[in-house]
Every structure is written in C-alpha cells, then in structure tokens.
Structure 1
Amino acid sequence: MAKIRVRRETGTLFLDFQYRGARCREQTALPDTPGNRKVLESLAKRIEKAILKGNFTYAEFFPDSPRAKEGGDPGTAAPGSPAKGDHPTPTFAEFAELWVIESGPRWRAQYRTEVRKTLDAIILPGLGDKPLATIDRGHLLGFQAQIAKRRGRSGETVSARRINKVMGLVKTILNEGCDRHGLQSPARTLKRLKQGRTEVMPFSLEEVELLIARVREDYRPYLTVRLLTGLRTGEADGLQWEDIDFAAGVFRVERTHSRNGDGGTKTDGSRRTIPMVPQVRAAFETQRTRAVDGCPWVFHSQYGNPMDAVNFTNRIWYPLLRNLGLKQRPPYQMRHTAATLMLAAGENPEWVANVLGHSTTEMLFRVYSRFVPNLTRNDGLAFAGLVNGHLGKRAVEATASKSAPPTDNAAALAALQSLSPEQLATLLTLAKKAS
C-alpha cells in the first residue's frame, strides 16, 4: 500500500510503496500541505491499481527516477530478470499488498502490525519478487530452510513454532492468490514442522500464596487477579472499571491492551463474564482505593498510565521469582496455574473453559490433564467404587432370593460388598495376620 510521508530535512512529501518485493521511495518537491497530499494520494491510488493489474510501468510514473533506468520498469528489466510478458500473474509482493488491504479490517491492530513486520522483514525479501505462477514447492522449501537459519533475540535459531507461523502466512497468501488466478497452489502440499509440546509449569497452591504475599504491595491485586482467574496478559491489562460489577460479583472481559493500544479480544469466545471469588473481589476493592482520577484502567502505573507488560515482566515478575528461588517462567504461567487449580478442585471442565475463554474443553484435557489427579488416575478404583456402590446391593439381593442363604450370611455378604477396594484389602490383610 503506497503511503504519503514527509522528509524531515526539507519538509517535502514523498511516496513510499512496495514493488517486486523492494521498498521504493520517490521524492517530490511538494511541501506538506493538504492540497499537495490530495494530489499524491490520487497518484498513490493509481500506482496501487497498476501494480495489482500487473501493468505498472516505473518510467511512466517516475521518468526521472534512477529505478526506471536500472531495471525497475518491467518493460526495461535488468539482465536476468523476467520480462513483463513472461508472467501474467502478479508477483507475490503485489498480491500480498492487495491481500493485506482486503483482510486488514478483520484484524486487531496488534495482529495487523505483526503481519506487516513479518511481511517486510522476512517474507517479501525472500519471495516478494517471484510471480505467483512461478512459485513451486522447491521455492517454498528453500524459503523455509532460510527461515530456520535465522537467529532470534536470544541468539538461538528460531523455533519450529515460529517457522510454522511464518509459513502459515505464506500459505494463506499464496493459496488465495493461486485460487484467484486459476493456479494450483504448491503450498497446500507443504506440511507443518513438528512442534514441541506446550510447556506448562503451573505454580502450586503454596507457591501461589507465597507469590501474592511477597510481591510488591502495589502489584499484589494485579498478581492475585491473574493467578486466580487465568486472564491473559492483554485481558488483565485492558480491564477498565466499567467492566467490574461489584453488585453482581462478576467482571467482564471486553478488550485487551498492549503497547499497540486497546484492541479486541483474541476471539469472540474470549469475551466473557467471570465470577469473583472472595480473594479476587478483595483485590479489586483494594485496587479501587488506589484509582487515579480520570484513569479508566483497573491496573495502572502510579501516573495513571495503563500497565506495560514488558516493564512488569522485567522489573517485577522475574526479580520476584529469583527472590523466592522459583524456577524462571513467563507470566503466562499464571494462566496455566489458574486452570490447573480449578480443575484439581473438581470444577466442571465446561465451566473452567468458559472462565478461561475457550470455546471447547479439548485444550483443557490436552494441556492440563497430567496436572490434575482425578483426570490422570488409571488404577480403576474410582470405577470399581461406583459399580460397587450402585450394583453391589442388588447383586446380593438376587443371590439371596435364589439360594436363600441364612439371613446372617446375607447380611455379612452385603456388608463385604459395600466395602471399598481399599477397605477390603485392609480387611484381608488383618484376617491373614489373625490366622
């Protein structure tokens, strides 16, 4: 998408747009005025339209530009580059720009920013100049291998999860582009890399108590709410006082907040109403006494600004874990902690899923089952107790009516049948010792 920008040194306007995977900036001598901006906006629309149709001629729009002379014009392509007639379909970069324009209104601001960064930094430099019709499975595998060699912030190579995320974006764009131009997309046969299992390191109830007791006092309500409700970081940071209903004893999750500003929830199902347990209610009431006039957010800085997730993580969270001697883990583990505590307490999984903002219970059993004793026992004792409790008496009565044993024997048999497997094992052990 072509943008109108201002050159700081001169105060004049210039056009900034993507063409064949490259960033193009064409200067003008026009000062920054509303009238000049309208002129350039009209020119920008014409450029976008020509690029999408595949008939953009660089020299036609910018005859004095060095790019027109160096091969930026498809009609005067540099040696080794494809000629205009060789690819009737747009390049990956050209279609990607159209796809972003069409899809952008459906995205949250944070996701829109993330897509833009991924396209500009990774995808377009690798695939942007290739026409859709020329991209094959080999290109995609080679591009995927290039991503795998990249280094992350910690200096290590990027994870399989990150690679799959980037390739998922490539697949979506390529599939849509090929469908529109009657092509068979090579991305549909590309398999995802195997990812490691989601690392879940919840805190125990004793550790939760310790975290709340030892955190800085001004962050104690924030930690209490996150540890006992399972709110995502953006959901907790986006809470506003209008979302808290003390009379009904509930609060609503309506939005998220990040460094990119306020945004919608992750999914429609993430908008939900959560009941307040006494500790959470007390945390909100304590936080209300610290409210800053004119500040809509529940959790905020001392100056009334919304929470900064990065600042909290680096200055509060990790130092707290080190001080307590607990294994380092990201703040998101507070969400896992709430989930495991709710399930271990015997709450209905559907209720837990609703509190966490999941549409189904599938993720609960897939991710948290090994942390909940009642969900992981495999000795059959629970089933044996259920069957014995409901069917034992009937079996005894049926036996008594057929064989008519003495009344005392029937009563003794019924008593034995009513015992749990553990009690029966203990009784047999005592009997052996006595004999």
Structure 2
Amino acid sequence: MRLTLGRLRTALNVAVRRQLVVRNVAAFVTIPRSLAKAAAEARAERKPWTQDEVKAFLAGITGERLHAPCLLSLMGLRPAEVCGLRWSDVDFEAGTIAAGENTRTLVDGEIEEKEAKSAAGKRGLPMPTTVTKALKALQTLQKKERLKAGDAYVDSGYVLVNELGQPQRSDWLRRRVYELMAKVGVRKVRPYDARHACLTYLAGAGVPDVVLAAWAGHADGGTLAKRVYVHPDSSHLKVAAEHLESGLFG
C-alpha cells in the first residue's frame, strides 16, 4: 500500500504541474495504523540468516548446480538480477559483475526483462574469490553441456540456465532454492532475504551506509552529509567484497 500510495502521489504531482488537476488529493492520505503495525510485525518475523546459517547452507550446496547463483544472491543481488545476469556482465579479468544491467522476472505469467529502475541500480560489484571460482566452475559445466547437447543447445548467454542453455525464471529459482534449504536442513527463508543477510552482515562489519547503498543499488545512501560528502568508488566496494570473502563466505 505504501508503494502504491507513493506512486499515486508522484503521478498526481505531475498532473498538478501540467495543470490537469487542481490539487493532489493523495497528498495527505495516510495508511491506517492497524495495517502499518501489521506490516511492521510481518517484517520483524522475517529474519535473514545469521552468519552461521549462511555458512551451513553454503557448505551443504558445494558442488550443486545452483552454488554460484546462490552465492550471487548472498552477494546481495535480487532474484530478478540473478536470473537476468548474462555472461557478458561478468568480467573475470577485472573481477567484477555488472549487476542490474538486466533483470528477468515473472509478471502476470509473462517473462519481463528490463534494466534497473534507477541509475544506482546498475552497479559494478567486485567479486569475492569464492564467487569467481564458483562462476568459473559453472561456466565450465555449461561448456560441457553445450558440447553434449549439440544443436539442441540454446546459446542464450545467461548465467542461470538449464542443461540446454535455456534461461530460468525467478519462480523456478525460488522453488529450487527452497528444495536446497530442505536438503541441507537450514531454516527456510525467502531467496530475497539472502540479500538482507548480505547487507546486514556488511553493516555489522562496519561498512559505511553510503557504501552499503552503492552495493545494494539504492540511490539513497543515508544522511544528507553522507550523500553529499562521501563518494564511494570501486575501492570502497572492493572492501565490501573482502568482508564477504573473509567473513560470510570464508
């Protein structure tokens, strides 16, 4: 409701500027306290994995086909970003991933592909060593599958594909990740919560808010002072990758 109300207010503000309406009737609309309270309680119940739970899950899926995609989720990529990631977005030489350049998700039963919603959503993330190794192993596996399948193989260019090279959807990824959670015996959380686990860990490790925002692909990096005077660059993001490698993945 909050998201819908925000978009409605924005649309009506544009309408006011264009003199299509006299005033923004949504400007002073508020969400009922009971619904806001229920939403807050629901968020509180959704606890991301702890560091120990992350390590237990990763130890249990080593060698699985989804090892690399799960690491991407635990790097903070959204499920739609994991599904939309292409091999052309992965630069092994530079050691970076162009996250958010393309997303792939299911909308009303149809596959929708698009770029990130904002410029901040497109971000070059340095890869922890563990992620680099897992992606190289996945690429090698796909090359073997391409040779085995011959003409039946679809060279789609995506990182997350089936044995015939066809890209996977976010709903398929969610189901398979839940199956892996059950197989390993870890607490079931939403795949999107892997992103929360990553950012929570980095925040606890002392990574500055503005760097967290850059890593997550958020335009708002915290207080006005931080937004104005702190300018995260690739070196700052590299520190975040090192934190993931030594703590969460190590």
**Same fold (TM > 0.5):** yes
Report how far residue 173 of structure 1 moved: 4.9
Please list every run of 5 or more consecutive structure 2 residues that lacks an aligned counterpart in the other structure. 147-152, 224-250
Partner of 2:170: 309
| Cα shift readout 1:215-245 (whole Å, capped 9, x = no counterpart) | 3711111112221x11111111111111111
Q: Of residues 104, 107, 128 in structure 2, which corresponds to 1:257?
A: 104
Matched, 1:224 2:75: no
Preserved contact between residue 230 and residue 356 of structure 1 (Cα < 8 Å)? yes
Distance 1:204 1:182 in 2: 50
Whether 1:329 and 2:175 are equivalent positions in the alignment is: no
CA distance in 2, matches of 1:246, 1:331: 25
Whether the 8 Å contact between 1:225 and 1:280 is mirrored in structure 2 is yes
Query: How far did 1:171 drift?
Result: 4.4
> 1 CA distance for matches of 2:96 and 2:174?
27
Which residue number in structure 2 is paired with residue 201 of structure 1?
47
Aligned pair in 2 of structure 1 residues 187, 282: CA closer, same or farther (>3 Å)?
A: same
**TM-score, with structure 2 as normaliser:** 0.69
* Alpha carbons 1:243, 1:251 under 8 Å: kept: yes
Q: How many residues align?
A: 199
Q: Distance in 2 between matches of 1:272 and 1:297?
A: 18
Deviation of the 1:181 alpha carbon? 4.0
Q: Which has more radius of gyration?
A: 1
Distance 1:188 1:348 in 2: 33
The verdict on how the C-alpha distance between 1:207 and 1:171 changes in structure 2, with shifts beyond 3 A counting, is same
Alpha-carbon spacing, 1:184–1:273, altered in 2? closer, same or farther (3 Å): closer
* CA RMSD across the alignment: 2.6
Conserved? CA contact 1:164–1:193, under 8 Å: no
Q: Deviations over 1:139-160 (max 9, x none)?
A: xxxxxxxxxxxxxxxxxxxxxx
Q: 2:2 and 2:207 mapped to 1: Cα distance? A: 35
- Report the AA paired with residue 219 of structure 1: L
The TM-score, its normalising length taken from structure 1, stands at 0.42
1:166 and 1:350 map into 2 onto residues whose CA distance is 27
3-state secondary structure, aligned to 1:362: coil
Give the letter for the 1:202 counterpart: P
Amino acid at match of 1:183: V
| In 2: Cα distance, 1:330 partner to 1:317 partner | 9
Task: Summarize the Cα distance change of 1:283–1:166 in structure 2 as closer, same or farther, 3 Å threshold.
Answer: same
Alpha-carbon deviations, 1:346-396, whole Å to 9, x = none? 334433322211234329xxxxxxxxxxxxxxxxxxxxxxxxxxxxxxxxx
Instruction: Tell me if the contact between 1:234 and 1:257 (Cα under 8 Å) persists in the aligned partners.
Output: yes
Contact 2:118 2:219 in 1 (8 A): no
One-letter identity of the residue aligned with 1:336: H
Residue number in structure 2 paired with 1:121: none
Return the letter of the residue paired with 1:350: V
For CA contacts below 8 A with separation 6 or more, give which structure has more relative contact order: 2
The alignment status of 1:183 with 2:22, answered yes or no, reads yes
Matched residue, 2:31: 192
1:164 paired with 2:2, answer yes
Residues 267 and 193 of structure 1, relative CA distance in 2, 3 Å threshold? farther
**What residue is the counterpart of 1:355 in the other structure?**
215
Matches within 5 A, 1:77-92: none
The whole-number CA distance in structure 2 between the counterparts of 1:174 and 1:358 is: 24
> 1:173-231: CA deviations, max 9, x gaps?
5555566345334322322344333445221222112212323711111112221x111
1:329 is paired with a residue whose SS is: coil
The whole-number CA distance in structure 1 between the counterparts of 2:54 and 2:189 is: 14
Judged with a 3 Å threshold, the aligned counterparts in structure 2 of structure 1 residues 193 and 264 are, in CA distance, closer, same or farther, namely: farther
**Structure 1 letter corresponding to 2:71:** T
CA distance change for structure 1 residues 301 and 187 in 2, over 3 Å: closer, same or farther? Answer: same
Q: Confirm or deny: 8 A CA contact 1:221 1:287 kept in the other structure.
A: yes
Q: For 2:207 and 2:159, how far apart are their aligned partners in 1?
A: 28
Matched residue of 2:26: which SS? helix
Out of 37, 40, 56, the residue aligned to residue 210 of structure 1 is 56
- SS of the aligned residue for 1:189 comes to coil
Structure 1 residues 234-273: Cα deviation after superposition (integer angstroms, max 9, x where no partner): 1111111111111111121212111333201131101111
Tell me by how many angstroms 1:297 deviates: 0.5
Structure 1: how far apart are the matches of 2:115 and 2:204? 31
Retained in 1: the 8 A contact 2:83–2:168? yes
